[in-house]
Structure 1
Amino acid sequence: MESLAGRFILLWGWRRSLVAFLAGALAILAQAPYDFFAVCFVSFPVLVWALDGAIAERPGRMLQRLKPAFAVGWWFGFGYFVAGLWWVGGAMLVEAQDFAWALPVAIIILPAIMATFYGLAAALARLFWSDDIGRIAALAASFALFEWLRTFVLTGFPWNPIGYAAMPIPLLMQSVSVVGVPGMNALAVFVFAMPALLAGYRNILPGLGIALLLIGAHVGFGYFRLRQPETPPVRPLSVRIVQPSIDQSMKIDSTSQDDIFRTLLDLSAAPVPAGRPKPSLIVWPETSLPFLLTDRPDALVAIGELLSDGKALLAGNVRAEGERHDIRRYYNSVVAINDAGEITDAVDKLHLVPGGEYLPFSGLFHRIGIDRIIAMPTEFSPGTERHPITVPGGLKAATFVCYEIIFPHEVSQGASGADFIVNVTNDAWFGDTPGPYQHFRSAQIRAVETGLPIVRSANNGISGVIDSRGRVVDAFALNVRGTLDVTLSVPSPSPALLGDAGRNGLVVAGLLALFGIGMSLLQRLRRI
C-alpha cells in the first residue's frame, strides 16, 4: 500500500490532475441511483495522497504554496460534478434550436464553478497538513465547511453533497437527524479517507478503530431508530398523487393546453382501487396547469366538479399579479383549490433557479437578446414568505417547489409548524437520467431531518410518499402515467433528539478542525 501511495504522491503536472479528476468522477458512483458507496474508500485516499504531493516547486507566499493543493481539489471536484451533473444539459435540448448554445454552461461551466468549492476545501486543509491522522481530520472539516457554503453562496446549489454517499438506504440515513448534512459531510469524508493511513505507520490502528466505531454507531443508530414507532397519535390522510407524464415539448406547446388539462382531470377522477378510501387530498405536480387559473374560470368550475364535498386539490401552477400583461409579475406556486372551485390559498416559490426561472444580471443579458438559458415560459419573481397550507382534516402542509427541497436549512425553517411536506416538481426537463433519482434522494434526506413525511408529485417521476424515517411507502417509476393512492400516516411532531441537527453538524466539523489543527501544530513543535 505504501508503494501505491508513493506513486500517487509523486505524480506531477497533468498526470496528477488526471488522477484527481478520475478519483472525483469515480466518487459519483456513491450517489443515487448507483449508491455504490464503497468507491469513496478509493476516491478519498487517492485525494489525500495527491494532496500529500501537492507541494509548490518554489515555496513563496501562502497563495503560491497552496496553489497545487487547490488544483488537486479543483480537478477532483470537476470530475465529481461533471460526472454527477451532465444530465442538466438535457434542459437545454428541449428547444435545441434556441438553447443548445447554453449546453456548455450546464456540462462544463456549472461543474467548474462547483469544483471551486472543493479546490478551496483542499487548499484550506493543506494549510494544516501533517503526515498522520490530523490531515484526515483537516480535510473532513474543510470539506464540511465548503459544502455548507455551497448551500447559500451564489444563491446556493447543494446538489449531491459528499455526506449523501454515506446515506444510500434509510438504515444509513437516520444519523442525519442528529448531526444534519454538515455533520454527515464531515464524518463521511473522515471515514472515507481513513484508508490513506494504511500507506504509513502512524495512527493506523487508532484511525481504523475510530472509523469502525463511527461506522458501527452510524449503522446501530439507524437500526435503533427504524425500530422505534412513530410518535402517536398517527393521523391518517388519504392522498392521491397524479403523475401525468406529459412530454416537456408538449407542455410548452400552447395548442396542447386543453389536452393536458383533460389528462389531469381524467387521472384525478379515476376509480379508487378496491379497499382504499376515496382521496381527501389530490396533488398535481409543478406547473401542471398549462395556463393561468385566473384566465380560465371554466377550469376552476371543472376542478370544483371533480372534488367531492370536503376534498381539496394542491396544484403546481403559475400565478400572476397585475392586470396588464406588460407589468404582470409571475410566480411558480402551489395553489389550494376547494370543492367549490375556489382558490383558497397559495404559496409561491421563494428559491428560484438561476438561468431557468430568472436570469442573474438580466439587464446585461437582455441587451444581447438573452432572456433565459432554458425554455421556461416566462421569468418568475420570487415569493416573499412561506406558510403551511391547511388541508382536509385540519392538517398543515408545508409546500416546496422543485429544487427547493435540496436546501436543508430552508426546508427545516419552512416546515416549522407543519404536519407534513408536499414537494411538487417537473423533472421531465432531464429525461431518464440520474437527475430525478438524485432529486428524490434529497427529499428522503429532508424527511429524516425534519421528522415529517413527504408527499411528492412529479410530472414524469419520481412521484411517491416518503415516511418520516426516509422509507418509501410507495412510488411511481419514471415515465409512468397514473395515480398513486396512499394513506399518509402523519405522526405527531416529536422534539429533536439532541437539538438542532444542522448546528450539531457544524459542531462536529469544528471539533474535527480543532483536532486536525492540533495535530498539525504538535507535529511542527516536534520538528523544532
Structure 2
Amino acid sequence: MRNNYLLALLSAFLLWFAWPPIPYTSGLLLVAFIPLLIAIEQIARGDYKKKGRKVFGTAFLTGVLWNTASIYWVYNAMNAFLPAGVSILIALIPFCLGPLLIALAFRGYYALRQKNQILVSFLGLIAFWVSYEYLHQSWDLAFPWMTLGNGFASTHQLVQWYEYTGVYGGTVWIWLSNIAGFLLFWQYRAKVAIYSNRMLGATLAGIIVLPIAFSLWKYNSYEEHINPSEVVVVQPNIDPYGKFGRISPNEQLEILLRLSGEVAKSNTEFFIWPETAISSSQGINEEDFRAHPYYEKIFDFLNTYRNGNVLSGIESYQTYSSQRTITAREYAPNMFVDHFNAAVLIDQSSKLDFYHKSKLVPGVEQLPFGKALSFMKPLFAHFGGTTGGYGSQSEPSVFYSQSGIGAAPVICYESIWGNYVAQYIAQGAQFIAIVTNDGWWGNTSGKDQHFEYAKLRAIENRRWVVRSANTGISGFINQRGDIVQHSSWWEPTALTQEINLNEDLTIYTQYRDWLAYVFLILTMLFVILLIIRRTSQ
C-alpha cells in the first residue's frame, strides 16, 4: 500500500509542476495522472479489504496535495482579514472540497471498473471528472480555479481550439492522453496484450500530436480584423490592507486621474480602472452618484477626450423601502441597504451604467446557500454588514460607449468562468475589461495564475482582454492569447494600447459549455447503471 501512496504523491507533484505559472511544463499534464491510475489499478487487483475506501483515500491524497501546493496563496489572503476559525473553515472550500469531489469521481470509476470493461470504466471516469468540474463552477461553493483545462494557460499556443470547446476540451484531452499512456504502460509491465501495443502507441501519439498540430496551425494563421480602439489601463498600486487608513478615497481618485492623463491620447476611448477604485468608507449611493464630487471630477477629466469613457470598479449600494433581496440589510425602520462590488461606466453624457458582480467569493463576499444557512450570518458581522453578503445580479450586462463600443465589465474572480464571460460576448461585447484587485494575495503565484487564465478567455471568444489590477498584473492580451503588454507587480503605472474590436462569435461563445453537457448526460447514465446493478444484487 505504501507504494500506492508514493505513486499518488508522484501524480500530485507532476500536476503541481505542470500548473501555471511555472512556464513550459504544462505538457506534463498529459501524463501526470498515470502514476495515480497505476495505484488505483493495483488496489483494484490487489488483496485488500475495503478497496473502495482505499481508492477514495488515494485519489483524495493526490487531489489535496496538488490543490494545496498550487493555490496555497488562498489561505494567505483569508488569514490576513478573517478570524482564524472562519478562515480555516472557508479554506476548506478550495483546499478540501475539490479533492473530495475528485475522490468521488475515482470512487465512481472503481465501481464501474468492477462490472464493466476497462474502456467503459474510463469513459465513466472522464464523465465523472468533467461533472465534478462543472458542479464546482455552478453551485454556491464554486471554485473553478483548478479546472484541468486551465493548466494550459501558460502555453496557450497549444490550445487555440478552445474557441470550439472551452477549457473542458483541455480536461478531456488530458484524460484521453493519460488513459492511453496508462494502458500502454500497464500492458508492457504486465506483459498481457489486451490491446495491440502498436495501436496504443499510435493512439497516444495521435491524441497528443494532432491537437497540438491543429492548434499551432490555428495560432500561426489567425489574423485579427482591423478595428482599432485606444484603451488605457491604470494600476494605482494602493495597498488594499490600508486602503482607508493610509490614503483617503479622494487621494486614490487623484492618483487614478493623474496616471490616466500621463499616457492618454486625444483619441483614447476607454480608461479602465481596477476593482473598487472608486470608493468611500460607506460606499457610493448609486442613485446620488451624479451629484457626488468624485463623479464631477471624472466628468471634468473626460472633457479632454472627445470619445472618452471611464470603466471602473466601484463600491456602491442601493437603498430600498422593503427587503427586496436576501442580501439587503435593515439599517433603519423601513430602510434597507444592499451593498455591491460593482463596475460603473461614466461617459460625457448624463447616462450611468452599473454592473453588480455576480460570481461572488464563497464565504467572503457571499454566504453559500444563503437561505438555508442564514443562521451563520453572525459569523460575518465583523465585516460591517457588507462582506459575506454582497448583492449581485444574475446575468452579465454589457457597457456601451456613446460611440457604440461594447465592453464586458468582468470583476476579479468572474474571469475564471469561461461560460459567464462568453455571455457578455454573446450580448455584444467587443472586448473584455477585467477589473481586479489581486493585492490581497501578496506577491504569490495567485496573481500570476489569475493573469494567465485571462489568456484563455481571449482564445475562447477571440476578444482582446484589457486588464486593470490594483497592484498588478495589468496588461493587454490579444485575440490569440498573446500578452502584448503587461505591468510589473507593485508599481503605480498606466499602459496604453490600440486594440482591435471584434464582433464575430466563436463556437464556444455561441454554445458555451456544450462539451460539459455531453459528459453530464453520460454521468447520469452511468449513475443509473450503478444504481440498477446495486439494487439487483
RMSD: 3.4
What is the 5 A alignment of 1:72-221? Answer: 72-95=58-81, 99-105=83-89, 107=91, 110-129=94-113, 136-196=122-182, 197-201=184-188, 202=193, 203=195, 204-221=197-214
User: How far did residue 501 of structure 1 move?
Assistant: 5.3
User: How far did residue 222 of structure 1 move?
Assistant: 1.4
User: How far did residue 187 of structure 1 move?
Assistant: 1.6
What is the 5 A alignment of 1:360-375? Answer: 360=368, 361=370, 363-367=374-378, 369-371=379-381
How far apart in 1 are the matches of 2:78 and 2:384? 5
Cα 1:49–1:398 change in 2 (3 A) is same
CA contact (8 A) 1:243 1:482 kept: yes
Whichever residue aligns with residue 89 of structure 1, its letter is Y
Whichever residue aligns with residue 319 of structure 1, its letter is S
Aligned to 1:321: 318
How far apart in 2 are the matches of 1:434 and 1:279? 32
How far apart in 2 are the matches of 1:509 and 1:298? 51
Aligned to 2:16: 28
CA contact (8 A) 1:33 1:438 kept: yes
Could you list the per-position Cα deviations for residues 389-438 of structure 1 after superposition, in whole angstroms to 9, with x for gaps in the alignment? 11253111121111111112222223212211111111111011111122
User: How far did residue 132 of structure 1 move?
Assistant: 5.8
Residue 513 (structure 2) pairs with residue 486 (structure 1): no
What is the 5 A alignment of 1:128-527? Answer: 128-129=112-113, 136-196=122-182, 197-201=184-188, 202=193, 203=195, 204-230=197-223, 232=225, 234-253=226-245, 256-272=248-264, 278-291=267-280, 292-293=283-284, 294=288, 297-307=292-302, 308=304, 309-322=306-319, 326=332, 327-339=336-348, 342=350, 344-360=352-368, 361=370, 363-367=374-378, 369-371=379-381, 379-416=389-426, 417-496=428-507, 500=511, 502-504=513-515, 506-507=517-518
Whichever residue aligns with residue 331 of structure 1, its letter is F
User: How far did residue 494 of structure 1 move?
Assistant: 4.1
Larger mean CA deviation between 83-92 and 133-142 belongs to 133-142
What SS does the corresponding residue of 2:211 show, helix, strand or coil? helix
How far apart in 2 are the matches of 1:56 and 1:303? 69
Could you list the per-position Cα deviations for residues 101-137 of structure 1 after superposition, in whole angstroms to 9, with x for gaps in the alignment? 4443355563111111110111122223378666554
Where in structure 1 are there 5+ consecutive unaligned residues?
1-10, 519-528
CA contact (8 A) 1:137 1:513 kept: no
Cα 1:304–1:317 change in 2 (3 A) is same
Whichever residue aligns with residue 485 of structure 1, its letter is T
What SS does the corresponding residue of 2:460 show, helix, strand or coil? helix
Cα 1:182–1:434 change in 2 (3 A) is same
Whichever residue aligns with residue 40 of structure 1, its letter is L
What SS does the corresponding residue of 2:154 show, helix, strand or coil? coil
How far apart in 1 are the matches of 2:279 and 2:62? 42
Whichever residue aligns with residue 52 of structure 1, its letter is E
Aligned to 1:7: none
What SS does the corresponding residue of 1:336 show, helix, strand or coil? strand
What SS does the corresponding residue of 2:513 show, helix, strand or coil? helix
Could you list the per-position Cα deviations for residues 154-189 of structure 1 after superposition, in whole angstroms to 9, with x for gaps in the alignment? 442111211233453231121212222223211212
How far apart in 1 are the matches of 2:462 and 2:482? 12
Cα 1:304–1:371 change in 2 (3 A) is same
User: How far did residue 282 of structure 1 move?
Assistant: 0.3
CA contact (8 A) 1:237 1:393 kept: no
User: How far did residue 377 of structure 1 move?
Assistant: 5.9
How far apart in 2 are the matches of 1:99 and 1:399? 31
Aligned to 1:37: 26
How far apart in 2 are the matches of 1:408 and 1:161? 11
User: How far did residue 271 of structure 1 move?
Assistant: 4.2
Cα 1:339–1:182 change in 2 (3 A) is same
How far apart in 1 are the matches of 2:314 and 2:508? 37
Cα 1:211–1:393 change in 2 (3 A) is farther
CA contact (8 A) 1:283 1:313 kept: yes
What SS does the corresponding residue of 1:320 show, helix, strand or coil? strand
Give the count of matched residue pairs: 495
CA contact (8 A) 2:274 2:468 kept: yes
CA contact (8 A) 1:182 1:506 kept: no
CA contact (8 A) 1:465 1:472 kept: yes
Whichever residue aligns with residue 303 of structure 1, its letter is I
Identity of aligned residues (%): 24
User: How far did residue 492 of structure 1 move?
Assistant: 3.2
CA contact (8 A) 2:237 2:471 kept: yes
CA contact (8 A) 1:179 1:502 kept: yes
Whichever residue aligns with residue 393 of structure 2, its letter is G
Whichever residue aligns with residue 352 of structure 1, its letter is L
Cα 1:458–1:354 change in 2 (3 A) is same
Q: 1:54 aligns with which of 33, 43, 54?
A: 43
What SS does the corresponding residue of 1:151 show, helix, strand or coil? helix
CA contact (8 A) 2:462 2:506 kept: no
TM-score normalized with structure 1 length: 0.84
CA contact (8 A) 1:176 1:501 kept: no
Cα 1:160–1:172 change in 2 (3 A) is same
What SS does the corresponding residue of 1:432 show, helix, strand or coil? coil
CA contact (8 A) 2:339 2:386 kept: no
Could you list the per-position Cα deviations for residues 425-457 of structure 1 after superposition, in whole angstroms to 9, with x for gaps in the alignment? 111110111111221222211121122222111
Larger mean CA deviation between 185-194 and 482-491 belongs to 185-194
Where in structure 2 are there 5+ consecutive unaligned residues?
321-329, 530-537
Could you list the per-position Cα deviations for residues 186-224 of structure 1 after superposition, in whole angstroms to 9, with x for gaps in the alignment? 121221343322232433332232221122221222122
How far apart in 1 are the matches of 2:523 and 2:210? 17
How far apart in 1 are the matches of 2:168 and 2:89? 28
CA contact (8 A) 2:52 2:110 kept: yes
